[in-house]
Amino acid sequence: MMAGTLFTIGMGPGDPELMTVKAARLIAACPVVAFFAKRGRTGHARSIAGHLIAATAEELRFDYPFTTEVALDDPSYACGMTQFYTTCATAIATRLDAGHDVALLCEGDPFFYGSAMYLYDRLGDYRLETVPGVAGMAGCWSRAGLPFTHGNDVLTVLPGTLDAASLLARLGQCDAAVIMKLGRNLAKVRVALEQAGLADRAVYVERGTMADERIMPVRDMTEPTCPYFALILVPGRRRQR
């Protein structure tokens, strides 16, 4: 029997209509649909796919072993995640070996800070196809009405998990910037934006393209923390042509 193909599929920024035509086709066709989720939640990628998943499809739900109860720099975090990804990859391999195609759903674009990459790396002996998706940041800058990079602009994408000095150094030399992974890093990022002189043009976007999105100047976002998947956008040097 021929083994199945693993389709690693970007689901886009959140609005189900912003998935690609190819993503919609493959999700409906695959007999196995896999996705990550936080324990007790629906799973964001799963909720975007919604009704597209066939009623007869097997769903493989992978619950992250930790959310915030183990620190990122605790060795047990790395060890636990390694075991977790290996278990997930084994579950997928079993279905591929049985000849079934598997759709692995990912928020945004799979190769852009996605957990799915750790399964992709483990399943290199199988046929793999990756379906790119609209990045969360593109959904956010479209909804915020912020033309983002022009001409010779350099775009820098920074994780908010960087330390304050690194953030400031990077922000000091960017034309356009996106700051991801905010969550508990929000206050540190806000200070770095002020110090870099960029707070004036920085915009906070939470759940962009979704029904409950929030968009505001970063100075108006005074709450101490925010969802992990919120973004801050610093548009480039908007030029008049």
CB of 207 to a copy of itself, least distance (A): 15
- CA quadruple 209, 214, 220, 221: dihedral positive or negative? negative
Cβ-based nearer residue to a copy of itself, 141 or 204: 141
Q: At 133, is the secondary structure helix, strand, or coil?
A: coil
CB of 239 to a copy of itself, least distance (A): 9
Please answer whether residues 200 and 232 qualify as being in contact, where contact means their C-beta atoms are separated by less than 8 angstroms: no
Q: Which amino acid is at 126?
A: Y
Residues that bind a copy of itself (CB under 8 A): 10, 12-13, 15-22, 24-25, 78, 81-82, 85, 109-114, 117-118, 120-121, 128, 130-135, 138-139, 141-143, 145-159, 161-162, 170, 209, 238, 240-241
Please answer whether residues 182 and 220 qualify as being in contact, where contact means their C-beta atoms are separated by less than 8 angstroms: no
CB of 227 to a copy of itself, least distance (A): 19
Cβ-based nearer residue to a copy of itself, 58 or 132: 132
Reference 139, options 234, 210, 188, 226; nearest CA is 210
Cβ-based nearer residue to a copy of itself, 40 or 51: 51
Cβ-based nearer residue to a copy of itself, 50 or 98: 50
Backbone φ/ψ region at 110: left (φ over 0), alpha (ψ -120 to 50), beta: alpha
CB of 85 to a copy of itself, least distance (A): 5
